[in-house]
Amino acid sequence: MTSPPHDAPPGPRRDGDPADDLGHPYAGARPAQRVVSLVPSLTEAIASVRPEALVAATQWCTHPGDLDVPRVRGTKNPDTKAIAALAPDLVVANKEENRELDVRRLRDAGVPVWVTDVETVPQGVAAIERLFDDALGWERPAWLAEARRLWCGPVPPVSRRVAVAIWRDPWMVVGGRTFTGDLVRRLGWDNVFADRPERYPAVDLADLDAAGADAVLLPDEPYVFTADDGPEAFARTPTELVSGRLLTWYGPSLLDAARLLSAAVEPTPRG
């Protein structure tokens, strides 16, 4: 079975089949017994219910910390032949994190693939609800209802202005139409680059430092900012080292994000 490109219209849907977030018909076995996850957020979500069902994951799937499964390389270069050899009932992928080419190769090999598409926190919650209902065929975990309660209500008033860096050399930040941008908005934080048309625009360091943010958030993924790598670059704006999992993942981490990111974070002194 071939797949359309991620940005193309989906193919025809068969009556009775559910469809993934991109509209591709899905007719995999339910309940799923053997699952490969190519998305760290979804790996954590699946492991929270049936860790024994995970037969492989990527090297970036770091939660839960005791997950002991074969690794099929990274999100951008998965070993599709090794995945197919595992004969999974289901492979879970994401439009942003995984390549359409790899999804197509797996489907061409007869492997059922469910692709999620997430640009907001409510979309992330809904995507996991549909994954459990329509692809895995499992009962929803209790944390999922709590995540909906915590994150899918009214947006609070703005309490601070932030920028979220994701890379350096060149410096890149979170722009508009992103999960992370929506998450900080739902914390009551105004992303100073939210009006940029690019999802992850490159910016000059001087412009980032002068953007008027109360703080520049420096997560530990995808670039690993540390106390010695990142804060020293800023002369004007305080920085805060934060967990990338709390800012960018949309599984059980949403409960931790609501608790930890809402708490006061001690700024890192300016360089």
Where exactly are the structural domains of the chain?
A: 35-150, 160-260
Q: Which of 195, 133, 193, 186 has its CA nearest to residue 166?
A: 193
Task: Give long-range contacts, CB 8 A cutoff, 24+ apart: 76-84.
Answer: 78/38, 78/102, 80/105, 80/106, 80/109, 82/56, 83/36, 83/56, 83/111, 84/109, 84/110, 84/111
Q: CA torsion 56→249→110→19, rounded to 10°? A: 150
- What span, in angstroms and rounded, lies between the C-alpha atoms of 88 and 81? 12
Q: Which of 65, 67, 76, 10 has its CA nearest to residue 35?
A: 67
- Whether the pLDDT of residue 15 is over 80: the answer is no
Q: Is the pTM of this model over 0.95?
A: no
Instruction: Band the pLDDT of 262: cuts 50, 70, 90.
Output: confident
Q: pLDDT per residue over 114-164, tens digit each?
A: 999 999 999 999 999 999 999 999 999 999 999 999 999 999 999 999 999
Instruction: Indicate the average pLDDT of the chain.
Output: 92
CATH number, span 35-150: 3.40.50.1980
Q: Is 115 helix (H, G, I), strand (E, B) or coil?
A: strand
Q: pLDDT per residue over 211-220, tens digit each?
A: 999 999 999 9
Instruction: Band the pLDDT of 8: cuts 50, 70, 90.
Output: very low
- Whether the pLDDT of residue 270 is over 60: the answer is no
What pLDDT score was predicted for residue 17?
78
Q: pLDDT per residue over 40-86, tens digit each?
A: 999 999 999 999 999 999 999 999 999 999 999 999 999 999 999 99
Instruction: Band the pLDDT of 16: cuts 50, 70, 90.
Output: low
Question: Do the domains spanning 35-150 and 160-260 agree at the CATH topology level?
Answer: yes
| Assigned token pair, 148 | 């909906």
Q: Is CATH 3.40.50.11540 the classification given to domain 160-260?
A: no
Sign of CA dihedral 252, 256, 257, 259: positive
Type of residue at 222: P
The pLDDT > 90 percentage for the chain reads: 90
